[in-house]
A and B are shown apart, each in its own frame.
Chain A
Amino acid sequence: MDLNELNGIAADQQASRKPCVIRCCTAAGCQSAGSAAVLKALQQAVAEAGKQDAVEVRSVGCLRLCCQGPLVQLDPDQRMFQKVRPEQASSLVAALDGGTTDAEPCDPAAPFFALQANVVLVNSGRIDPEQIEHYIAADGYQALAKALTEMTPQDVVEAVTRSGLRGRGGAGYPTGVKWSLVARSQGERKYVVCNADEGDPGAFMNRSVLESDPHSVLEGMAIAGYAVGASQGYIYIRGEYPLATQRLQTAIRQAGRLRLLGTHILNTAFDFRIDIRIGAGAFVCGEETALMASIMGERGTPRPRPPYPAESGLWGYPTLINNVETFANIPQIIRRGADWFASLGTPKSTGTKVFSLTGKVRNTGLVEVPLGTPLRVLVEDIGGGSPSGYIKAVQTGGPSGGCVPAHLLDTAVDYESLAAVGSIMGSGGLIVMDDENNMVDVARFFMGFCMDESCGKCIPCRAGTVQLHRLLTRILDRKATRRDLVLLEQLCGMVRETSLCGLGQTAPNPVLSTLRYFRHEYEALLRGERRHGGPHPDDQ
């Protein structure tokens, strides 16, 4: 395979494109609503109408408004339909020629779609994730070809640095800096690891990317391998993601067959293999040192850093670890240029971010926006506000994050602004809360999660989260005294400062942020008032 053949595949694919395409989402969200049957019914309906030559029924990745699945979109007119049932298939096929359909329409010009960006998710909902030709026809693997034939590894690292891309796995560490550290590390072997453990409750961004456009992640990893000098990659994916795993396996097989992975990639001297490692569903295995231990077949527990993976990672060799979404950004940075990427978002938080919007909000689903977008736009315009009409807070960053109260909804969603209001960007979970949510209960929920997911290695996290959970329960049961509240705050500080890894260090964050903005709810419980949510006093 060389560049000409790659272009040939793209041209063939484009030439064979039928005039009409019916896109049916078969990502996990819609599959759970029965989209597999819809896809089959659509195929049957097209066959019955004798339109196989003119209409392609395509299984695509997430179309974003997951709460209304199964979603179907007609191309060329781009009309969308939601909650589609198999018996509506024939009328949908007829609708291609202007016929009527009783399928429930869904407005693709609505703010939910119109305000979104299309970078990481550019192919999501458009290509069939199980057909490498579709990805190639959408400029797929062009970035890898460009990197291998027109750029030196240093050029690639420099482009990633200039793009300003920051890690999407949570901490926002500059990706270019990490790549250059691994590139400069000495080692007879190096590894590239993709972190697809995604364990935050309510988060499904990475899963959607893998289910909708797996090749973008493979291409990003291969480019990384070239940049840092690695010839082996691993994708560490949680066992709860069977569909994503299966689509990745298909993608790896297809890429290998076309020599876009393996040896002598695109007729160059570059070799890169990717293997999948499946986790057993432990949140802590998303922490990079625990993840590496798990890949090596050991118990998945974190170890102190330094040494950082860039110096000494898998089997003691320099290892680059990035998140799924970080890798998915790479092909476009290389293909469209670092300056283009840097022009998106804010100067310090460039590019876009994918969020999974859930909770008390009308439109739940997958959302991509430029960084710097106000939280208000995300929850009120894109999310359509809460069904009860009142938004009390938005939880960002999962169990490591915090609750941003409604009066701070104009906070821009970027790494620094969220940190300034006591939360974090995290990996992209956004949970909207209304006045039914008692914030102490919310804090206890996340503490319970951390308690269950603590690996048990260090004492502050293992035993501290249990005691924090008990104290929160005591407060909720209205059995706590003022001294318990003091102890709660002291223990939060101690667990945060003394825990070995990020899990323990950030476990107190939901408590600290609710104490900061919703202390009155703690106080009310201390006074023995009945537990209820209620609005923030400033909002009344």
Chain B
Amino acid sequence: MAVRTLTINDKLVSSPEGATILQAARENGIDIPTLCQLDGLSTVGACRLCLVEVGPAGRLQAACVTQVAEEMVVRTETPKLREYRRMIIELLLTERNHVCSVCVANHHCELQDLAVKLGVDHVRFEYLHPHLPVDVSHELFGIDHNRCILCTRCVRICDEIEGVHTWDVSGRGTNARIISDLNQPWGDSPTCTSCGKCVQACPTGAVFRQGSTVAEMEKDRQRLRFLLTAREKREWLV
């Protein structure tokens, strides 16, 4: 396989042709924040947290969807990137009702982790406080739209891994919503197999297992890895 040599944060790294900047960075122990990306799922480049500066002009490119190229020069931590990433988190926190102290995902939430890591200690934008429903019609799971960041991981895992496509997105702009089937209660979904993959994939407390109380929802990402390895490599390793 052809190899590409590039520079990430002044460090010379090599990476197989066709790999993304994100993969190359992770292989080399360089951490780039992500939210919409999840190993094994297709990439959508939607959250924009993984933006990095590329080339002498420092053009911003999403690391999860940009392929490495020979002699590419990448910077993953600059004052501008730090500032933009913080703003993205602030925009998410103000867009819906993220009240961590009463959330099932408290301490197990990727949004919260990123907010801490990026030093978001205050929010400069107005809280929008939308009125959003919680759907607990499913016998095992629930979806709380107040916590949803529209990363579409649930949509993709249900479609691409479970092969069911229960979830999709309706509406546009800030009115966009995750819906099950034809915008009906999740419990009425004729397609959902209750496999729980969306629960595992969700980075926040938006899709949860019922009966979880505050801070109880821990995600088992290993389970997803296991499924993917089994599917892609036909290896059933635990």
Within 8 A of B (CB), among A482-502: 487, 490-491, 494, 497-500
Contacts of B46 in A (CB 8 A): 457-459, 500
Minimal Cβ-Cβ distance residue in A for B91: A463
Query: With A467-B126, A494-B84 given, is the CB distance from A457 to B44 under 8 Å?
Result: yes
Are the CB atoms of A456 and B94 closer together than 8 Å?
no
A462-482 interface bits toward B, Cβ cutoff 8 Å, 1 = contact, 0 = none = 111111001000000000000
Are the CB atoms of A470 and B172 closer together than 8 Å?
no
Minimal Cβ-Cβ distance residue in A for B152: A457
Contacts of A265 in B (CB 8 A): none
Contacts of B175 in A (CB 8 A): 456
Minimal Cβ-Cβ distance residue in B for A282: B172
Minimal Cβ-Cβ distance residue in A for B66: A304
Chain B nearest CB, measured from A288 CB (Å): 16
Are the CB atoms of B174 and A462 closer together than 8 Å?
yes
Contacts of A487 in B (CB 8 A): 124-125
Are the CB atoms of A460 and B44 closer together than 8 Å?
no
Interface SS, A side: helix
Q: How distant is the Cα of A491 from the Cα of B150 in the complex, in angstroms? A: 21
Chain B nearest CB, measured from A465 CB (Å): 8
Checking B47, B94, B126 against A458 with a beta-carbon cut-off of 8 angstroms, the contacting residue is: B47
Query: With A491-B87, A494-B84 given, is the CB distance from A459 to B176 under 8 Å?
Result: no
Report if B227 contacts A (CB, 8 A).
no
- In this complex, the interface size class of chain B, counting residues with CB under 8 Å from chain A, is 20 to 34
Within 8 A of B (CB), among A271-292: 282, 284
Minimal Cβ-Cβ distance residue in A for B85: A498
Are the CB atoms of A451 and B174 closer together than 8 Å?
yes
A386-404 interface bits toward B, Cβ cutoff 8 Å, 1 = contact, 0 = none = 0000000000000000000
Checking B47, B91, B173 against A467 with a beta-carbon cut-off of 8 angstroms, the contacting residue is: B91
Report if A452 contacts B (CB, 8 A).
yes
Q: How distant is the Cα of A147 from the Cα of B176 in the complex, in angstroms? A: 47
Q: How distant is the Cα of A521 from the Cα of B92 in the complex, in angstroms? A: 31
Report if A356 contacts B (CB, 8 A).
no
Checking B84, B94, B126 against A497 with a beta-carbon cut-off of 8 angstroms, the contacting residue is: B84
B95-117 interface bits toward A, Cβ cutoff 8 Å, 1 = contact, 0 = none = 10000000000000000000000
Report if A454 contacts B (CB, 8 A).
yes
Are the CB atoms of A470 and B126 closer together than 8 Å?
yes
Checking B45, B124, B169 against A304 with a beta-carbon cut-off of 8 angstroms, the contacting residue is: B45
Report if A303 contacts B (CB, 8 A).
yes
Task: Give the one of B46, B62, B65 with max A CB within 10 A.
Answer: B46
Chain B nearest CB, measured from A419 CB (Å): 17
* A–B complex contacts, Cβ < 8 Å, 10 sampled: A299-B168, A459-B46, A459-B88, A462-B174, A467-B94, A467-B125, A470-B125, A498-B48, A498-B51, A500-B45
4 smallest beta-carbon distances between A and B, as pairs: A456-B176, A463-B91, A454-B173, A304-B45
